[in-house]
Amino acid sequence: MALIVKKFGGSSVGSTEKIINVAKRIIEEKKPGDQIVLVVSAMGDTTDELIELAKGINANPYQYTREMDMLLTTGEQVSIALLTMAFKTLGQKAISLTGAMIGMKTNSVHTKGKIIDIKPSRVKKELERGNIVVVAGFQGTDEKGDPVTLGRGGSDTSAVALAGALKADACEIYTDVDGVYSADPRLIPDARKMKEITYDEMLEMARLGAGVMQPRSVEMGKYFNIPIHVRSTFSSKPGTMIREAYTMEEKDFLIRGVAHDDKVAKIAILGVPNNPGVAHTIFAALSDKNIAVDMIVQSIRNIEKNVTDMVFTVSFDDLPQTRKIIDEVADKLSAVAVLIEEDVAKISIVGAGMLGNPGIATRMFGALSKAECNIDAISTSEISISCLVKKKKLKDAANAIHAEFFPEA
Ligand code: ASP
Ligand code: MG
């Protein structure tokens, strides 16, 4: 007997036909005595459509974060109800539960909530009654009982956290790709499927733009030490295991993947005083509004005048808010100008193998130079290197870098 948490993403439940197919597959693969918890996302592009709907009321609906959560949580409620009806129609006992009903407790940071605690006693009770339990991903409630969503792609996090809280035997993430690739195959046709990847590498890949998994879900997997199996909804082939360490055969690559993110904007605040406290003023204003900043570069602009330029990137989602905040801060600091560039993309390489292997960055810059691609900013972590490039150069840059580290087998 096994307790398995399976998560189905929006594309896997994109139509009633697909929902019925998911239900059929689960029933077919379920072994007697297995306890199954399903975490599902909103159907297809529902979440995007709901956001568009809100924009019909106000161009920047994210300023009303609580109401955004009230709106967005409806998407998942539709899919759990329909999937549960599909099970019942097929003669399988099942029940749908919202985030509140599974005891998913979050903080009160609406639209970017973090899980504080899960008390899934109701889930356990329903499993004991012989139900397949169908849970709304992406949502929980804060101490007031208000709905809070976990950030885009948050159903992954719901699933892994719930698997941890239930001490599940496995957590399977079903999606429209058949595993984790060394790069996005839409951008890099030579990308290859990985059998395994470590939590840390997957985390870095996801943080740097690989869309397969929400980064926080991988953190959650690491925390609970739950191996996560990323696999296809539409085939029964094994996908990619995300776990603490590799088995022997997968150790070969220094670099595990090339990630990219073209939903970033570059902000430059020109001519701010080069004094203690200036960076703090700028970035505190952003972090106060929960805006994450990446790739910070401070350059020497004019030594005599003791002014400097501060350059950083933020994600597109945060751009309208960032614009407002930075204009105010720039005024306060008497900056010369604020430049915002949206025509950029971030390309990154990731691999625990780069620790203790000098020369990896050189090879990346060499590949970019061969592709005649200029680098606007560079940032590094222990297991990744990222370069900011012009958006129109992204595809060439990504393919050149991938070819450098993943030569033809
Ligand atoms: N429906 C939400 C989104 O599209 C959550 C998810 O799909 O994981 O971001
Ligand atoms: Mg989705």
Over range 7-18, report the average pLDDT.
Answer: 96
- Band of the pLDDT at 134, cuts 50, 70, 90? very high
Over range 150-161, report the average pLDDT.
Answer: 95
- Band of the pLDDT at 305, cuts 50, 70, 90? confident
CA of 393 to the centre of ligand 1 (A): 29
The closest residue, in CA terms, to atom 5 on ligand 1 is 153
Q: Lowest mean pLDDT: which of 108-112, 130-134, 350-354, 365-369?
A: 350-354
CA distance 364 to 384: 11
Query: Which ligand 1 atom minimizes the distance to the CA of 42?
Result: 1
Over range 72-93, report the average pLDDT.
Answer: 98
| Structure confidence at residue 91 (pLDDT) | 98
Over range 255-278, report the average pLDDT.
Answer: 93
C-alpha dist (Å) from residue 43 to 17, 85, 243:
11, 15, 29
Is 60 exceeded by the pLDDT of residue 250? no
| Structure confidence at residue 246 (pLDDT) | 72
Instruction: Report the pocket of ligand 1 as residue ranges, CB < 6 Å.
Output: 9-10, 41-42, 47, 75, 137-138, 152-156
Q: Is the model more confident about 52 or about 1?
A: 52
Is 90 exceeded by the pLDDT of residue 251? no
Is 90 exceeded by the pLDDT of residue 300? no
| Structure confidence at residue 356 (pLDDT) | 77
Query: By three-state DSSP, how is residue 109 classified?
Result: coil
| Structure confidence at residue 137 (pLDDT) | 98
Query: Which ligand 1 atom minimizes the distance to the CA of 138?
Result: 5
Domains annotated for the chain, with CATH where assigned, are: 3-176 (3.40.1160.10)
Taking the alpha carbons of 118, 172, 33, 83 in that order, is the dihedral positive or negative? positive
Average pLDDT over the chain, rounded to whole? 93
| Structure confidence at residue 407 (pLDDT) | 84
Decide: 401 and 257 in contact? Cβ < 8 Å.
no
Decide: 112 and 66 in contact? Cβ < 8 Å.
no
